[in-house]
Amino acid sequence: MILKKRLIFLLVSFITILTGCSNPEINEINIGFIGPLSTRATDLGIAPSQAMQLAVEKYNSSKTENQPTINLFIEDDKWEKQLALPAYEKLRKEHNIDIVFISNTDGTIEIQDKIMEDGVIAINPLNNDKLLSSLNKNTFKIAKSTEEAHKALGIRLIELGLKKTLILHYPNDFMTIGGNAMKDILTENGIENKLIEVAKNQTDFIEILKNAKEEETEAYVFLGYRDFGFAMKQARDLGIEAPFFGSTTLLDSVFFSNSEGAIIGTECTFFTPLDGNYILASEFLNDYKKRFDYTPFSIWPPMQAFDAMNIVLNEVKMVNEDKNKDETLENWLRNRLFKVRYYQGVCGNISITEDGSSRGIYFSLYKVESDGKLIKIKR
C-alpha cells in the first residue's frame, strides 16, 4: 500500500514537472494601428484601418481553439510625425500592444527607439523605401516601393519627350524620397528639372508657377496631397497648358474639388485589382463593401493594408505550435516574417527580403478621367 502511494506520488510529480516545463499558450495578441483618421491624407488611414479590421474579424471567426485571439486598436496621428510617438505610447500603456502598424514614413522613424526598447514589431503597410530599410531589424515594410513608383513616373516623362520639368513636393519623407527618385532618373537621362519643397498647408503657388511658365517648363509634377489641387487650378488660370503628373494620392475627392476639375488628365502611378491578383482583389473589395457599406475612392491603401495584416496573421496563428518556450514573441515573429516568400495576396505574390522590405507589389500608370475615376494608360 505504501509502495503504491509512493508510485502515485511520483507519477503526479512527474506530470506536474512536465506541465510546468511546457510552453504556455498565448491566448491573445494585441495589435495597434497608427494612421491619419482626420485632417489630411485620410485615405491613408481610414480605409486601411477598416481593411485591417476586416482581416482580423475574418481571422477571429475562423481560428482554431489553440490559435490566439487578435485585438486591434486604432489611433489617429493626423499625418503628423510628432503625433506618432504619443499615439504609440498610448497603445502600449492602454493595450500593451506587441505589434504596431503605422502608415506614415516620418511616424515610423519617430517610434524606432521605442519599439526596440519595448520589443515591438512594426509594420508599415503603405510605404517601402531605402530610408525605412536602413532603420532597425524590427521594422518591416509590406508595401510598394516608393522609389520604383516614382521612377516609373520619371520614365513616362522621358517617353513623352518632355525636356524641362518642375517637381513640387510636400515636406515629408515619402514625397521627398519620391521627388528625389524622379530627379535622379531625369537627370541621368539629360532632362532638365527643378525640385522644390513647398510649405506644409501652402495653398498659394502662383509665384512658383509664374516663374516656371516664364522658363517654358514642359511638365508639372505634384507630389503631395489635396492642397496641390489649388496649384493645378492656379496653373491653368495662368494659362499653363503643359501636362500634369502626380503621385499615388490623387483620388482624394477634396483634391479634385480644390482643383475645380483642373486635375482631369493628370497622369500618376496607381494600383488597382488589374495590377494585382484580380480574383482575390475583387473578392476583398466585395467583402469590404458588404462590411462597411461603401468602396474607398483610393483602393491601393486598403489593399496593401489587408495583405500586410493577413501576412502577420498567417504567422501568428502558428505561435502556439511553433514558438519555443524560451523564445520571445518579438524574436519569434521577426524570424517568421523574414521567411515569408510568395505570399498570395490581393496585391500579388509578396516576399519579404533580408532588410525587412517587400517585393511583389508593382504600380502602373493611370490618368485621372473624372472625380474619383482613373483609366489605365496604354503604351
- Can you give the residue range of the structural domain that contains 135? 28-144+275-361
Mean pLDDT of the chain: 93
The answer to whether the beta carbons of residues 366 and 377 sit under 8 Å apart is yes
Query: Cα–Cα distance between 168 and 172 in angstroms, integer?
Result: 12
The predicted-structure confidence for 261-288, as pLDDT tens digits, reads as follows: 999 999 999 999 999 999 999 999 999 9
Mean pLDDT over 67-72 rounds to 98
pLDDT of 63 > 50? The answer is: yes
Are residues 39 and 119 located together in one domain of the fold?
yes
The whole-angstrom separation of Cα 208 and Cα 157 is: 20
Q: Please tell me the total count of domains within the chain.
A: 2
- For the CA atoms of 344, 58, 310, 41, the dihedral, rounded to the nearest 10 degrees, stands at 110
Q: Which cell goes with 131?
A: 530610408
State residue 17's pLDDT score. 47
CATH of the domain at 236: 3.40.50.2300
Same structural domain, 156 and 135: no
Nine-digit cell string for 144: 510598394
In a domain, 7, yes or no: no
pLDDT at residue 19, rounded to an integer: 45
Q: Which residue has the cell 509665384?
A: 207
Strands 267-270 and 244-246: parallel
User: Which helix (H) or strand (E) covers residue 316, if one does?
Assistant: helix 300-316
pLDDT in tens, 75-112: 999 999 999 999 999 999 999 999 999 999 999 999 99
Residues 214 and 265 placed together within one structural domain of the fold: yes
**DSSP class of 340:** -
Q: Does 216 have pLDDT greater than 90? A: yes
pLDDT band at 1 (very low <50, low <70, confident <90, very high): low
pLDDT mean over 237-246: 98
Closest CA to 33 of 151, 140, 123, 161: 123
**CB 347 within 8 Å of CB 284:** no
Query: Could you tell me if 271 and 285 are in contact, meaning their C-beta atoms sit under 8 angstroms apart?
Result: no
Which position has the higher pLDDT, 59 or 16?
Answer: 59
CA dihedral 212, 218, 222, 228 (to 10 degrees): 60
For the chain, the maximum distance between any two Cα atoms, rounded to a whole number of angstroms, is 107
Q: Does residue 368 form part of some domain?
A: no
Looking at residues 12-18, what average pLDDT do you find?
A: 48
Beta strands 358-359 and 348-352: pairing type? antiparallel
Residues 244 and 282 in one domain: no
Residues 229 and 296 in one domain: no
Q: Are 267 and 367 in contact (CB under 8 A)?
A: yes
- What's the confidence (pLDDT) of residue 21? 46
- Report the phi/psi class of residue 184: left, alpha or beta, with left for phi > 0 and alpha for psi in -120 to 50: alpha
Tens of pLDDT along 254-267? 999 999 999 999 99
The pLDDT value recorded for residue 171 is 95
| pTM, entire model | 0.87
pLDDT band, very low/low/confident/very high, at 39 (cuts 50, 70, 90)? confident
280 with 135, same domain: the answer is yes
What is the Cα–Cα distance from 139 to 133, expressed in whole angstroms? 8
User: What confidence tier does 23 reach under pLDDT thresholds 50, 70, 90?
Assistant: low
Q: Summarize pLDDT for 139-155 with one digit per residue, the tens.
A: 999 999 999 999 999 99
Asked if the structure places residue 376 within a domain, the reply is no
